[in-house]
Structure 1
Amino acid sequence: MVDEQFRQLEREMGLLLRRAQASSATISKLVHPDLEPAAYALLAMILATPGVRASDLAANIGVGRGTMSRQLARLGELGLVSRRPDPDDYRGQLLDLTDEGRQRFETAQAARRVFFRTALAGWTDDDIGSFAAQIARLNADLAAAREAKG
């Protein structure tokens, strides 16, 4: 029975991830017509942790520094992200959303919340809270497993 549960989990997670990727493509266009879907998550992380370093972002989402550098350069070109010197490391830079980046991101975020409210209209507040807690637990456990794997 356990194997069947993991097969079902794999199927459902695969479907969820494909739908999330499609949704990110749509939402990213709300932020900026030239924004790549993967960059939406970067904007969310920068908003949540102003003054974050590019290396910390790269480690958090599991991409190389070169990939991160290219994505951040593009976000800078679009006027969504700014850089400032790191006072603790003259070689480093700290990242923030520009005012325009913050406004555009928050507008897209509001649109995503409207979508969720509509899609989950039949769910109770407890259902949504419980699901959010389980997703948070899953994310933490997946991150820990990735770190343990090395």
Structure 2
Amino acid sequence: MSVNQHTAAELVHNIFDLQRALRGITAAGMKYSDLGPAHTGVLFFIGQGEPLRASALAARLGIGPSALSRQLADLEHYGFVVRLPDPLDGRACQLSLSGEGQAYLAETYERRAETLRNILSEWTEDEAEAASSSVQHLTAAFRSASQQPGGGRTDALRTPRTTHSTGNDGRHHPDPSSKITKEER
């Protein structure tokens, strides 16, 4: 391995910390009429290209069919997603964005990009490009790992390690730096 345990543990912590910070910024910038981040994520993946089946979308999102079904029902209710007959299998359907869904997604991402631009006002363009490149590289590594047999397991990131240290009293104590907090799950 080229990355040591401490660096990997620190990266896991930083990823979850980034996720929490991003959720906070996203929630603060949401309008009362906005959908939540999960719904917006579903729209994003549907809008990335050709129409796709719900099963393929669920796999890409890493969620179960029932969770996706609830989100799709909401998005269809708002008129953002349409189901089209699958040309290869008449029993199945494919999902695509409606015009309203495309407009909503474009406006949401434009607003989020402007928010991020304001937050990063002290950064240089090179710093922002380097951060973007690092996030892309990390995302590609995660996606690649999830496509490997057994690579889609997320329990490795969720389960606290069981390392212990010996305290001054001679007893073994869990190493607090080795645990992933409830918020990081």
**Which range, TM-score by smaller chain?**
0.7 to 0.9
Q: Give the TM-score taking structure 1 as reference length.
A: 0.86
Q: How does 1:25-36 map to 2 (within 5 A)?
A: 25=27, 29-30=30-31, 33=33, 35-36=35-36
Q: Who is 1:66 aligned against? A: 66
Distance 1:133 1:41, change over 3 A: same
Q: Who is 1:53 aligned against? A: 53
Pair member with larger Rg = 2
* AA partner of residue 12 (structure 2): E
Q: How far off its partner does 1:24 sit?
A: 4.3
Q: How far off its partner does 1:37 sit?
A: 2.5
Q: How far off its partner does 1:11 sit?
A: 2.3
Q: Who is 2:85 aligned against? A: 85
State whether structure 2 residue 129 is matched by structure 1 residue 145: no
* AA partner of residue 7 (structure 2): Q
Secondary structure, counterpart of 1:52 in structure 2 = coil
Q: Which whole-Å CA distance do the structure 1 matches of 2:106 and 2:15 have between them?
A: 27
Q: Give the TM-score taking structure 2 as reference length.
A: 0.71
The percent identity for this pair of structures is 31
Q: Who is 1:44 aligned against? A: 44
Q: How far off its partner does 1:78 sit?
A: 1.2
Secondary structure, counterpart of 1:91 in structure 2 = strand
State whether structure 2 residue 87 is matched by structure 1 residue 103: no
Q: Which whole-Å CA distance do the structure 2 matches of 1:138 and 1:40 have between them?
A: 21
Quote the RMSD (CA, aligned, Å).
2.1
CA contact (8 A) 2:26 2:112 kept: no
Structure 2 unaligned blocks of 5 or more: 152-185
Question: Relative to structure 2, which stretch is displaced further, 17-26 or 55-64?
Answer: 17-26
CA contact (8 A) 1:47 1:102 kept: yes
Q: Which whole-Å CA distance do the structure 1 matches of 2:98 and 2:63 have between them?
A: 23
Q: Which whole-Å CA distance do the structure 2 matches of 1:24 and 1:84 have between them?
A: 31
State whether structure 2 residue 23 is matched by structure 1 residue 21: yes
Question: Comparing both structures, which one devotes a greater share of its residues to helix?
Answer: 1
Between 1 and 2, higher relative CO (CA 8 Å, sep ≥ 6) is seen in 1
CA contact (8 A) 1:53 1:95 kept: yes
How many matched pairs? 148
